[in-house]
Amino acid sequence: MKIRKGDTVKIIAGKDKGKTGTVLTAHISTDQVTIEGMNVVKRHKKNKQTRSAGQIIEISKPIHVSNVALMEGDKIVRAGYEMKDGKKTRISRASRKAI
């Protein structure tokens, strides 16, 4: 998976299409990422004790990696890898610069 925590991404499919955000977590096993403030759903939570109120909580749910695109500045770029001095570095395919 070429998208990591802290990357700026643009959503290219789904209800938040066109919006940009920062990756909070990357779930490698399921190829999904959680983006700050995107794909927000409401969950109703019961009260824990008697005579206390329940809550409606808003949670950001994960989005599949195929539905987001990596951004460099204000442009969408594709990521690749290149070996430099025996180290694997992530680069932008368009500009060949390290990301």
pLDDT tens, position by position, 26-59: 999 999 999 999 999 999 998 888 777 889 999 9
Residue 94 pLDDT: 87
Which CATH number is 8-74's, of 1.10.490.130, 3.40.47.40, 1.10.10.10, 2.30.30.30? 2.30.30.30
Domain ranges across the chain: 8-74
50, amino acid identity: T
pLDDT tens, position by position, 67-93: 999 999 889 999 999 998 899 999 999
Considering the entire predicted model, what is its pTM?
Answer: 0.81
